[in-house]
Amino acid sequence: MAMPPAWMEKVLVEVEKHGSTTADASIQGIVDRTSLDITIGDKPMESIATLNQARVYKYNPEEDSEITFDMYVKDLGSDSNAIDLFFLGVTTVATSGVITKSTTTVRDRFRVTILFTNDTSISDATATVNNGTETTYGARRYIFADAYITSCKPSFTDGILKISISCKVPPYDGNGSANIGYQSLDGSTTASLTALLTYTGTVKGWTNV
């Protein structure tokens, strides 16, 4: 199976809490398929005229990126809907039963991973693509580490409960290390796209090749 003519119809999305091996939400099953929007931050520049009619280039700092989407939600269980609790700043995410939480001043970091692929054997955006198969699959993966959930707005204006989510991520962390990664597999090789490492400590999960 080679690369499709374009990526369409299906995308896998995973949101993982920094420093935890269990607090994550596989949310692709409840995201409105027309709502996902990935806005990569600009690298603005301008030119300044000099007296000899030349130009000096002035680079402005690279801007934040933003991921937005709408979700159809029911309970607050962590398998899919925990993103509400992530926004509240809840430290321990309940998975089932009665859940009662209050908003806090905590602002956690998250890794948002978005995977387009025609490998139907996987259901997790962070997983290995084309894992040891003879069939060749294609993929394109966006990785946003150290992202913050900046907006979580419920609405019922369309006659169905949904929440609109916005996540922002700076291009670099406090040490100047990249927070945004790109990966791809071209569908012409039996090689694998390696699974991301667990997003804990200082590990963002990928290595450039």
Dump pLDDT digits (tens) for 49-91. Answer: 999 999 999 999 999 999 999 988 888 876 666 788 888 888 7
- Count of structural domains, the chain: 1
| pLDDT in the model for residue 195 | 93
| pLDDT in the model for residue 168 | 97
Task: State the Cα–Cα distance between residues 1 and 120, nearest whole angstrom.
Answer: 11
Report yes or no on 95 lying in a domain. yes
| pLDDT in the model for residue 79 | 60
Report yes or no on 196 lying in a domain. no
Report yes or no on 136 lying in a domain. yes
Report yes or no on 200 lying in a domain. no
**What is the residue type of 34?**
T
Report yes or no on 121 lying in a domain. yes
Tokens representing 158? 């369309």
- Residue 101 in contact with residue 88, Cβ under 8 Å? yes
Residues of the chain where predicted confidence (pLDDT) is lower than 70: 1, 21-23, 78-81, 94-96, 133, 201
Task: State the Cα–Cα distance between residues 116 and 48, nearest whole angstrom.
Answer: 41
Report yes or no on 165 lying in a domain. yes
Report yes or no on 22 lying in a domain. yes
| pLDDT in the model for residue 66 | 98
What are the b/e assignments for 92-126, b being 16+ CB within 10 Å?
ebbeeeebeeeeeeeebbbbbbbbbbbbeebebbb
Report yes or no on 46 lying in a domain. no
Q: What is the domain-level CATH number for residue 137?
A: 2.30.110
Residue span of the structural domain in which 103 resides: 12-41+60-186
